[in-house]
Amino acid sequence: MNQQPFNLTFLQAAHNTAPRLIREMPRSEQPLQRLYRAGVDRISPAELIASILQTKNGLELAHQLLHLVEGQLHKLPQLTRAQLMQLHGVGEAQAARLQASLELGRRVLQADPGEQPSVNSPADAANLLMYEMLNLTQEHLRVILLNTRNRVIGIPTVYVGSLNTSVVRLAEVFKPAIVNNAAALIVCHNHPSGDCSPSPEDISITRHLVQAGEMLSIPVLDHIILGRHRFVSLKERGLGFGD
C-alpha cells in the first residue's frame, strides 16, 4: 500500500512553539504525574505520547508529531518507524514503543467492529468528540444519541454558531432523538477559545434542554463543554440540572 508523504516542514513551526523540557516543568504538570492524578482519559494527546516516549523532551516531540499529522490523530499509525526516527530524540526503541501502542489501540477497536461505543461517564462522551471538534473555529452543538443500553446510535450536529437561548431551538435539538427513537441524549458543544468554563448562556440552555427532555421522556443525561484538551460536565457541577 502506498502511503501519503507527510510534510516535514511542519516540524519547524512545531519546534518554535514547543513546551520546555519536562524536568523544567512543575512536577504536578509533568505528563506522567498528570496521568496519575487526573487519569488517562483526561490528559491531552500530547501528554499521552510524551508518557509513552519517556524522553526529557517528550512533550516537544509529541507536539512535533501532532503537527506532522496536522492534528489528525488517525494519521499517526500511518507514520513509519523511519519517519518517526527523523525527529531528533526519537530512537528506534521510542519509535517501536509508540508503534506498539498505536497497534494495540487499533486491535482493541477491531476486536468487535459491529459493536457501537457506549457512554457511561462524562469522559466517555468527551472522548468521542474531543479531537474531532478540537480545531473548530465556531461553536458546534452536537447531540450524542443513546439507546437503552447507553450505546451510541448517532451524533448529529444540530447547530453551528454562538450559543444563546434566543437562537437554539429546542425542537431542533430533540428532533434527531425522536427520529432515531433514542432513549436519552447528551448535549455537547465546543468553546473555540479553548476555555471550557460554562457561560451563563450555557447554563440557561442546559436548564431549558433538561426541562424539555423531561416533558418528552428523552432525558438529557449531561451537557459537555469541550475546550483545548479539557472538558467540563455541567451535570457533574450541578449546573442546569435540578437547579
pLDDT value, residue 150: 92
Any long-range contacts for 151-156 (C-beta under 8 Å, 24+ apart)? 151/115, 151/116, 151/117, 151/118, 151/119, 152/116, 152/117, 152/118, 152/119, 152/128, 153/116, 153/180, 153/182, 154/180, 154/182, 155/128, 155/129
pLDDT value, residue 161: 80
Domain residue spans in the chain? 10-110, 122-237
CATH topology of domain 122-237: Cytidine Deaminase; domain 2 (3.40.140)
Identity of the amino acid at 229 = H
pLDDT value, residue 206: 94
- For residues 55 and 72, the answer to whether their CB atoms sit within 8 Å is no
- For residues 180 and 186, the answer to whether their CB atoms sit within 8 Å is no
- Per-residue pLDDT 10s for the chain (243 aa) are 444 444 444 444 444 444 468 888 888 888 888 888 888 778 888 888 888 888 888 888 888 888 888 887 878 888 888 888 888 888 898 889 888 988 887 776 555 555 678 899 999 999 888 877 877 888 999 999 999 999 999 999 998 887 765 567 888 899 999 999 999 999 999 998 888 999 999 999 999 999 999 999 999 999 999 987 789 999 999 999 976
**Rounded to two decimals, what is the model's pTM?**
0.56
pLDDT value, residue 174: 94
pLDDT value, residue 16: 44
Closest alpha carbon to 162 in 129, 199, 125: 199
The crossing angle, in degrees rounded to 10, of helices 45-53 and 31-38 is: 120
pLDDT value, residue 110: 56
- Which uninterrupted H or E stretch holds 188? strand 184-190
pLDDT value, residue 14: 42
